[in-house]
Structure 1
């Protein structure tokens, strides 16, 4: 069996950002749940929307640095979001923050985000279906609601295009109740499957280029917008360390794929907690971008 780590991926081929959603309204207004039409799916607060835009601005800054490091590579961006409203709103805020920073930066080396960004709903990024959070199964209708809302947003304002051809790692909401082991396996599988598809897409695109072209002629950038449990799971999958307890709203982790750990096919979704890739990680649960300027 060939060890895939002996065939390293091109540097910069796939970069991932792991982002927790912004501040949620029910953690600020204790009475919101009692009158909400969908009490299990709170939106962002105004502060949460601000946090999301600031996160987009940070990603713009980091991507400018990456573009300077790999000037011959253009970047394509995919936001994959949990179907919960607070994550979808955070995703839209990230795009807006990136776009605003790109517009202000007259000398930006990055392409117009309107042509390079897409967004998709990924049920595999859902909140952990814990009995501490939910009293019953969250219906699958939340998935179609988010898709419809994001597609409508694309049609009514200058937003990220919905990735209509995106195939989710998981088609349905996680089964309630969900234990810790199942939750970890779900997030690891989601990460592995999304990354594998990005690498496969980059490989297919490279075949269309000349024989001398690099596999990473286009950098693939994936922004995972999820929940605290998801970010914690991704940190474990990419660093093999546990104990990341300070996972604040809109914290940002950047992780770059280095190589595949094994040549075996990916296991069936949700059946393994062993990550398939090796990673280089920086900006662990970073929060510095959220500091408001002093008056």
Structure 2
């Protein structure tokens, strides 16, 4: 029985466009989307409009929720916030555990969030590259098993997109997947084997980043 897993990275973030935002932000490690990021999220939604996706999971960071919300609006689906898809909690990028909006605050902004959902995998600061890959890979395997045979979308971050793909197809994803902003990875299960069909597709975007940034 086949199953399709879509893995999307969030769209462009405000601090990539305006680095000074970070200096005065209340939640400096949880930036929102930039103006062009909202355009990218809308283009991602249109790309997935005709796909038979049954469930949407998103990292609880604001930029991933905003990206997932654009898709959820078009597909008329709820959003499940899964901490296992979180940003790499890298101490070289973050001097402390990132402050994020509470579930109640996010639900007020995005009522498509299913507040009854319990995250399956935790993310703990600080973590190594190996730990983020292990964590996001475990999350991907858990979600596809629970949702099988339904098709799902996971909206994550550069490192957790790669880790989720690795969790399904193995280490080949390290050299194959290019997780640029708002890109799409597509993994298909056929006869018990996961196959990588899209490795970071950006054909739905009018603006694509030239250099992939993970932090």
Distance, in Å, in 2 between the alignment partners of 1:44 and 1:26 is: 9
Equivalent residue number for residue 169 of structure 1: 120
Q: Secondary structure at the match of 1:169?
A: coil
- 5 Å-filtered alignment, 1:51-90, equals 51-61=40-50, 63=51, 75=52, 77-90=54-67
What is the TM-score of this pair, normalised by structure 2?
A: 0.85
Distance, in Å, in 2 between the alignment partners of 1:50 and 1:77 is: 23
- Does residue 184 (structure 1) correspond to residue 144 (structure 2)? The answer is no
- Does residue 21 (structure 1) correspond to residue 10 (structure 2)? The answer is yes
Distance, in Å, in 2 between the alignment partners of 1:164 and 1:136 is: 26
Structure 1 residue 289, shift from structure 2 partner: 0.6
Structure 1 residue 253, shift from structure 2 partner: 1.1
- Does residue 197 (structure 1) correspond to residue 127 (structure 2)? The answer is no
Larger-gyration structure (1/2) = 1
**Structure 2 unaligned regions, length at least 5:** 208-215
Equivalent residue number for residue 254 of structure 1: 186
Work out the number of aligned pairs and report it.
205
Q: Secondary structure at the match of 2:164?
A: helix
Q: Secondary structure at the match of 1:42?
A: coil
Distance, in Å, in 1 between the alignment partners of 2:176 and 2:16 is: 21
What is the TM-score of this pair, normalised by structure 1?
A: 0.64
Distance, in Å, in 2 between the alignment partners of 1:149 and 1:259 is: 42
Q: Describe the superposition over 1:1-59 as per-residue Cα deviations: whole angstroms up to 9, x where unpaired.
A: xxxxxxxxx23xx3211000010111111210111111111100011011011011111
Equivalent residue number for residue 281 of structure 1: 196
- 5 Å-filtered alignment, 1:32-181, equals 32-61=21-50, 63=51, 75=52, 77-96=54-73, 99=74, 113-114=75-76, 117-138=77-98, 142=100, 145=102, 147-153=103-109, 155=111, 161-170=112-121, 172=122, 174-181=123-130
